[in-house]
Structure 1
């Protein structure tokens, strides 16, 4: 039932929003240049790597050493608008159609975090990662990493189609209200590495 729902809804949304997505892609090409899509390898079901699709929101600006500048310096006002309305996430509907993601599930984080999950937290990889999830409707921007991962595990342990519907419709409300829906900052992401590394030290 979950996979059928994913396939039907994702395909329907891609068709319904195709004109909007084409306009967004064109504007990204004009304001940010090429490429239009941001591609990144993330761990999916059973930790199997897959390439996630997102609309690009930042410029490729580097320092003299060729290293990318911090996100806040590369994020443009136009890119911020795309994120504000979560338009950058829409290409992930292709991941859903391909079976690499689900509409609802734990958000796929970075590959570099794999060594730092506890055995219980690895339960998040027993289901397909989602475009949105329980953590995202529970105040993602205000959650610490331990709390975020606990929400992911709670979702896996208590999954039901009714829970998916609750998350689905609450996500729509949050996007409309622009409430707790933006991505986690790079600094916050770095906290997981640092925190878990310190915890593993003797």
Structure 2
């Protein structure tokens, strides 16, 4: 039941809530980004989605169009994940889910083996199991192993765990010794 209808209902509720609560960022950031980058404040790119079908992912711009490295302001947007907020529109349009494997570049499609192609059996997500399990610290194969596990095992309880851990990490506090403490439960973030 969850996989067929419940996940989509959860996606719509969370994306609508996310858009409403982040409305101040949608009002303030585009003009600032327009002035800063002197171009469209939104970054769009074709990414493979469900069953490998291409869709246009939306993000707030974090770098100049000419390919210069990410600037300080862009790094701040990425570090706080504010650049990802427009993806709530992708979720409402049904191209993405709140939870699922992160959509990679379309150029990688030709490089996948059959095991790695399984990640496209579900919609890509704003957050996912690989992201809460190490993210960029994981090897390419480890990320795909987490993606495959998610595709085979996703459920309401797993999605809730991933969402909770994502929020915990996003709003975690750093102690002076560098360890993270979540304001949600007071324990170190896994």
Do they superpose with TM above 0.5?
yes
Equivalent residues in 2 for 1:68-107, closer than 5 Å: 68=67, 73-107=68-102
Q: Which runs of 4+ in 1 moved over 6 A?
A: none
One of 6, 13, 17 as aligned partner of 1:8: 13
Q: Do the aligned residues in 1 keep the contact of 2:46 with 2:56 (CA within 8 Å)?
A: yes
Q: Does 1:29 align with 2:31?
A: no
Single out whichever of 26-35 and 137-146 deviates more from structure 2. Answer: 26-35
Q: Do the aligned residues in 2 keep the contact of 1:85 with 1:178 (CA within 8 Å)?
A: no
Give ranges in structure 1 of 5+ residues lacking alignment: 62-67, 180-202
TM-aligned CA distance change 1:162 to 1:103, over 3 Å = same
Deviation at 1:177, TM superposition (A): 3.0
Q: What is residue 109 of structure 2 aligned with on the other side?
A: 114
Q: Distance in 2 between matches of 1:36 and 1:119?
A: 37
1:90-146 superposed Cα distances (whole Å, 9 cap, x missing partner): 000000000000000000001111111111221110100000000000011210101
Q: What is residue 120 of structure 2 aligned with on the other side?
A: 125
Q: Distance in 2 between matches of 1:140 and 1:13?
A: 22
TM-score, with structure 2 as normaliser: 0.85
Single out whichever of 73-82 and 121-130 deviates more from structure 2. Answer: 73-82
Deviation at 1:178, TM superposition (A): 8.2
Q: What is residue 139 of structure 2 aligned with on the other side?
A: 144
Q: Distance in 2 between matches of 1:155 and 1:175?
A: 21
The number of residue pairs the alignment matches comes to 169
Equivalent residues in 2 for 1:14-53, closer than 5 Å: 14-53=19-58
